């Protein structure tokens, strides 16, 4: 069994790191929500809509890579903010199509600048983890 | 179908202006109104002015059933792309395919001219040879239904069998397996690396575009028609200027917002 120099199994260290990543991502999301009024998922949703106007929720969920139930919440929140609108598919009243609004586009344009500043373009996973940890330090040790 | 100039329709239309979109238009019945004689078709000065302005802000394509040379002669500006003969003429088109189509059209013209000889003069029927396709016009006929049936009967006997595309008082014959407007549009999107497209057309020749199951393409029909695959419509050709003005306003709003 592989261990580190303090005799902790590597798998245990990995789990701890993963937990820290999860917590850091939550903090990051909160940070962006404060600064931009957008979480990262919401940012991704709007980015997709900018690229693919008038798409269905099903395709949007697939493209963003989230569960449809997660998307439903994001869509609801973004619609409330006026960043997207939902309409009935003219050829199939059972389906909905979603598009970004002008306000949504402005939000994306502002967000993209901050996100570009916040992350290195060619960050590999380790660098990203280090950046997250540095930007969003834990309040206490695990 | 939904009216594109409604509040919600305009929101959808605006969202297409936020991304790199190819704006593609049919010509006859869309940019120019339908006229008794195809030779008299033209774009109004207002429409021309508006579409020129749009072409300075975005990529614009005209996709027509007319021959390319005929189409270009009726445009007082140079769009980003011009496609003629229902997709047979335009950038990157195969010369081999075009040559075969031209040969096929010659054969059809000979056969149809013989079969319909007695109806070709004075009955409002005319054959337009577009080199790579044929168009049989009967708009000027006083007995449209009768003439249409005669044309369809004549077409049923010609070899090789054509693909028929029905238009407004016109029957277009194109070679089976050849490109169509839908393929032409997708080809242009790939060629220009534009991931979204807007297309507006007025008749069955445009249904090849509307039928594309691609949600990146916003299809608009001139005149609402039951059974059309287009999701949106404008009421009549005269609303094209209003549509173009709205598109321009979206781009102008964006420029103003950027300062």
pLDDT of amino acid A13? 77
Residues of B in Cβ contact (< 8 Å) with A49 = 15
Band of residue A80 on the pLDDT scale cut at 50, 70, 90: very high
Q: Which pair of structure tokens corresponds to residue B8?
A: 């919600």
Separate counts of helices (H) and strands (E) for chain A: 6, 3
This prediction has a pTM of 0.83
Cβ atoms of B49 and B43 within 8 Å: the answer is no
Query: What pLDDT, in 10s, does the model give residues B107-131?
Result: 999 999 888 887 766 678 888 898 8
Interface contact flag, B196 A53, Cβ < 8 Å: yes
pLDDT of amino acid B121? 67
The CA distance from A22 to B136, in Å, is 68
- The CA distance from B57 to the nearest CA of chain A, in Å, is 18
The answer to whether A29 faces chain B, any CB pair under 8 Å, is no
Task: Give which of B177, B133, B189, B125 is closest to B151, Cα–Cα.
Answer: B125
Half-sphere exposure (CA, 13 Å, Cβ side) for B52?
Answer: 11
- In which residue ranges of chain B is pLDDT below 70? 120-122, 257-259
| Angle at A51 (CA atoms; ends A49, A53), nearest 5 degrees | 50
Residues of A in Cβ contact (< 8 Å) with B195 = 51-52
Chain A residue nearest residue B226, CA to CA: A91
Specify the DSSP element, H or E, that contains B128. Answer: strand B126-129
Band of residue A141 on the pLDDT scale cut at 50, 70, 90: very low
The CA distance from A92 to B104, in Å, is 40
Of B15, B231, B253, the CB nearest to A53: B15
- The CA distance from A59 to the nearest CA of chain B, in Å, is 10
The answer to whether A107 faces chain B, any CB pair under 8 Å, is no
Q: Which of B5, B10, B17, B18 to mutate to test the interface with A (most CBs of A within 10 A)?
A: B18
The answer to whether A101 faces chain B, any CB pair under 8 Å, is yes
Of A56, A87, A105, the CB nearest to B12: A87
The answer to whether A68 faces chain B, any CB pair under 8 Å, is no
Give bridge partners of residue B137 from the DSSP assignment. Answer: B126, B170
The answer to whether B103 faces chain A, any CB pair under 8 Å, is no
Q: Mean pLDDT lowest for which of A9-18, A123-132, B195-204?
A: A123-132
ipTM: 0.78
pLDDT of amino acid B36? 81
Interface contact flag, B216 A100, Cβ < 8 Å: no
The answer to whether B1 faces chain A, any CB pair under 8 Å, is yes
The answer to whether B225 faces chain A, any CB pair under 8 Å, is no
Cβ atoms of B239 and B46 within 8 Å: the answer is no
Query: What pLDDT, in 10s, does the model give residues A81-90?
Result: 999 999 999 9
């Amino acid at each position: 069994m592989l261990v580190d120099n303090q005799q902790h199994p590597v798998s245990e260290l990995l789990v701890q790191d993963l937990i820290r990543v999860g917590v850091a991502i939550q903090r990051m999301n909160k940070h962006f929500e404060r600064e931009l009024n957008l979480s990262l998922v919401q940012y991704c949703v709007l980015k997709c809509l900018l690229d693919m106007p008038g798409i269905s929720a099903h395709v949007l969920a697939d493209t963003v890579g989230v569960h449809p139930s997660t998307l439903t919440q994001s869509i609801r929140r973004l619609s409330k903010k006026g960043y997207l609108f939902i309409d009935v598919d003219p050829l199939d009243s059972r389906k909905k199509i979603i598009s970004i609004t002008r306000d949504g586009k402005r939000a994306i344009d502002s967000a993209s600048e901050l996100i570009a500043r916040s992350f290195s373009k060619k960050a590999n996973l380790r660098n990203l983890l280090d950046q997250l940890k540095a930007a969003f330090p834990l309040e206490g040790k695990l | 179908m939904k009216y594109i100039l409604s509040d919600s329709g305009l929101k959808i239309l605006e969202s297409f202006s936020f991304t790199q979109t190819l704006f593609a238009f049919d010509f006859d019945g869309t940019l120019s109104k339908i006229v008794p004689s195809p030779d008299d078709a033209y774009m109004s000065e207002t429409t021309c002015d508006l579409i020129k302005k749009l072409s300075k802000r975005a990529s614009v394509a005209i996709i027509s059933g007319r021959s390319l040379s005929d189409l270009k002669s009726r445009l007082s500006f140079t769009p980003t792309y011009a496609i003629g003969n229902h997709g047979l003429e335009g950038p990157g088109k195969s010369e081999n395919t075009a040559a075969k189509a031209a040969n096929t059209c010659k054969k059809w013209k000979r056969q149809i001219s013989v079969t319909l000889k007695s109806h070709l003069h004075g009955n409002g029927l005319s054959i337009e040879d577009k080199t790579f396709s044929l168009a049989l016009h009967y708009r000027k006929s006083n007995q449209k239904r009768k003439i249409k049936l005669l044309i369809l009967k004549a077409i049923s006997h010609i070899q090789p069998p054509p693909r028929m595309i029905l238009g407004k008082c016109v029957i277009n014959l194109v070679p089976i397996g050849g490109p169509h407007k839908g393929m032409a549009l997708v080809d242009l999107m790939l060629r220009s690396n534009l991931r979204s497209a807007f297309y507006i057309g007025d008749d069955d020749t445009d249904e090849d575009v509307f039928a594309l199951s691609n949600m990146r393409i916003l299809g608009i029909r001139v005149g609402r028609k039951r059974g059309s695959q287009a999701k949106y419509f404008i009421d009549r050709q005269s609303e094209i200027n209003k549509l173009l003005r709205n598109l321009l306003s979206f781009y102008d709003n964006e420029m103003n917002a950027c300062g």
